[in-house]
């Protein structure tokens, strides 16, 4: 039995945040019904490599779900959702503040129909303040939560070329929903959860990215950032590797392995504090020595003394590495619409077992009839709603 079996979720979303969160909940056993517009559906369906109305991006964020088409702008479409709500455990959406009110799908309206409802409302910037209605996409949040400045510098910010803030928000939403479900087991009551991408990004970045912005007293001693110590590319004869000798004991093992142990007797490096203060000089000396080895030779020396190190793999090399096979991390599946599809399996193992998707990524509106039937909507009414273009 999967952990969330018996939980039903209605998802109203476009793009990544809410979709990723509910996909993870689906992997853990929840029934997730994705409510999409009757025209084109979630625009993520058409971004990147695709077959028909399912892109690889959409597939990665929406497997395990059922898809229904409902015109939420119509009173009849809203009525359909209202009829479903008493049988639903969680609503999750990522529309701007105020949007769900215009659709009569806000928490105050829906809680009158189901006092046990968990309502996860994701926004870009929160429900108050000057930016509450501002549009938000991942690079906007990277810029405003300090991620770009941390990745580069205050003077030369650099974006992380991944939808990191979108995904961080999705993970945060997923965790918050399960916490609210646990609280409901104790109290019997549902609740609304407001979550902003900006808050999620800042919370994620703060411990290491803002080390010198946390202690505010005048007698605080500033120090080097952990990220400046750990993240560095070490060049070799034929490429480069990353080495993370993060404490003095590891530094000693690394230096001994490559014949530079004498540096620890140098007045500039004979304590971790001094080493950090003279880090650039230290790195220059180590870098010069590492150029005497090939990448494989250097990795062999460092792994023998258990210093964390790795090649920076290409995406093809990532998928080919033996560790992923040992972990059973990646699967090749046959998808009814996409054909042969590579997926990465959900990371947690419950009871030592990998979770598998309950169903493939859905086509747009693939399950409208079956879902509404399962909620007790008669077949003749389903046909009538279709003829009125309320559903599809």
State the CATH number of the domain containing residue 252. Answer: 3.30.1540.10
Query: Which pLDDT value is given to residue 229?
Result: 67
Distant-in-sequence, close-in-space partners of 276: CB < 8 Å, separation ≥ 6: 223, 224, 229
DSSP state of 217: S
Identify whether residues 175 and 87 lie together within a single domain. yes
Distant-in-sequence, close-in-space partners of 102: CB < 8 Å, separation ≥ 6: none
Identify whether residues 38 and 163 lie together within a single domain. yes
Whether residue 339 is contained in a domain is answered as no
- Domain range holding 69? 8-206+347-387
| Percent of the chain whose predicted confidence (pLDDT) is above 70 | 99
> In the predicted model, what is the mean pLDDT of residues 151-158?
90
> In the predicted model, what is the mean pLDDT of residues 71-78?
97
* Span 213-251, pLDDT tens digits: 888 888 888 777 777 767 778 899 998 899 988 777 888
Identify whether residues 128 and 259 lie together within a single domain. no
> In the predicted model, what is the mean pLDDT of residues 316-322?
93
Identify whether residues 201 and 240 lie together within a single domain. no
Whether residue 35 is contained in a domain is answered as yes
Identify whether residues 92 and 36 lie together within a single domain. yes
Query: Which pLDDT value is given to residue 247?
Result: 76
Identify whether residues 72 and 144 lie together within a single domain. yes
| Two tokens, residue 62 | 């929406």
Measured CA to CA in angstroms, residue 359 lies from 35, 67, 81, 259, 333 at distances of 16, 11, 23, 55, 11
Whether residue 1 is contained in a domain is answered as no
Does this model's pTM top 0.85? My answer is: yes
Identify whether residues 58 and 100 lie together within a single domain. yes
Identify whether residues 302 and 199 lie together within a single domain. no
DSSP state of 70: B
**What's the pLDDT band for 353 if we cut at 50, 70, 90?**
confident
CB 166 within 8 A of CB 20: yes
Identify whether residues 134 and 34 lie together within a single domain. yes
Identify whether residues 70 and 202 lie together within a single domain. yes
Average pLDDT over the chain reads 93
Of 376, 370, 20, which Cα lies nearest the Cα of 391?
A: 370
Indicate the range of 100-109, 152-161, 367-376 predicted with least confidence: 152-161
Q: Report the CATH number at residue 371.
A: 3.40.50.10540
Whether residue 17 is contained in a domain is answered as yes
Report phi then psi at 258, rounded to 5. -105, 10
Beta-ladder partners of 118: 90, 191
User: How far is the C-alpha of 343 from the C-alpha of 95, rounded, in Å?
Assistant: 28
Say yes or no to pLDDT of 145 above 70.
yes
Total number of domains constituting the chain = 2
Whether residue 267 is contained in a domain is answered as yes
Q: Which residue has the higher pLDDT, 275 or 68?
A: 68
Identify whether residues 34 and 125 lie together within a single domain. yes
Identify whether residues 143 and 56 lie together within a single domain. yes
H helical segments located in the chain: 17-27, 56-62, 75-84, 99-102, 107-111, 138-144, 147-151, 164-187, 197-209, 226-230, 248-257, 272-277, 279-290, 295-304, 315-320, 322-327, 368-374, 379-387
Whether residue 341 is contained in a domain is answered as no
Whether residue 329 is contained in a domain is answered as no
Whether residue 333 is contained in a domain is answered as no
Query: Which pLDDT value is given to residue 75?
Result: 97
CB 343 within 8 A of CB 331: yes
């Amino acid at each position: 039995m999967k952990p969330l079996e018996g939980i039903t979720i209605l998802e109203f979303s476009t793009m990544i945040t809410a979709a990723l969160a509910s996909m993870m909940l689906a992997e853990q056993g929840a029934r997730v019904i994705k409510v999409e517009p009757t025209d084109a559906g979630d625009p993520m369906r058409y971004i990147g490599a695709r077959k028909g109305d399912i892109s690889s991006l959409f597939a990665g964020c929406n497997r395990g779900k059922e898809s229904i088409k409902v015109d939420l702008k119509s009173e009849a479409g809203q009525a359909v959702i209202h009829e479903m709500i008493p049988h639903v455990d969680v609503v999750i959406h990522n529309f701007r503040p105020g949007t769900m009110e215009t659709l009569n799908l806000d928490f105050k309206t829906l809680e009158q129909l189901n006092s046990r409802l968990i309502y996860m409302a994701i926004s870009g910037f929160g429900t108050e303040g000057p930016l509450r209605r501002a549009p938000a996409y991942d690079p906007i949040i990277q810029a405003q939560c300090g991620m770009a400045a941390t990745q580069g510098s205050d003077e030369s910010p650099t974006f992380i070329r991944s939808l990191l803030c979108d995904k961080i928000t999705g993970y945060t939403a997923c965790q918050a929903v399960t916490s609210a479900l646990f609280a409901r087991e104790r109290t019997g009551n549902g609740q609304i959860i407001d979550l902003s991408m900006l808050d999620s990004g800042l919370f994620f970045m703060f411990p290491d990215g803002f080390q010198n912005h946390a202690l505010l007293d005048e007698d605080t001693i500033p120090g080097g950032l952990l990220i400046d110590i750990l993240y560095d590319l070490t060049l070799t004869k034929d490429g480069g590797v990353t080495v993370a000798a993060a404490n003095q004991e590891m530094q000693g093992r690394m230096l001994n392995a490559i014949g530079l142990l004498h540096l620890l007797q140098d007045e500039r490096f004979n304590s971790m504090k001094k080493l950090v203060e003279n880090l650039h000089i230290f790195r220059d000396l180590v870098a010069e020595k590492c150029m005497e080895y090939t990448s494989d030779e250097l990795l062999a020396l460092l792994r023998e003394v258990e210093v964390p190190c790795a090649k920076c793999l290409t995406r093809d090399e990532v998928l080919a590495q033996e560790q992923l096979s040992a972990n059973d991390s990646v699967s090749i599946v046959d998808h009814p619409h996409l054909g042969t599809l590579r997926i990465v399996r959900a990371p947690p193992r419950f009871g030592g077992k990998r979770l598998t998707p309950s169903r493939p990524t859905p086509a747009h509106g693939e399950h409208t009839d079956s879902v509404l039937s399962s909620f007790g909507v008669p077949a003749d009414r389903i046909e009538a709603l279709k003829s009125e273009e309320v559903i599809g």
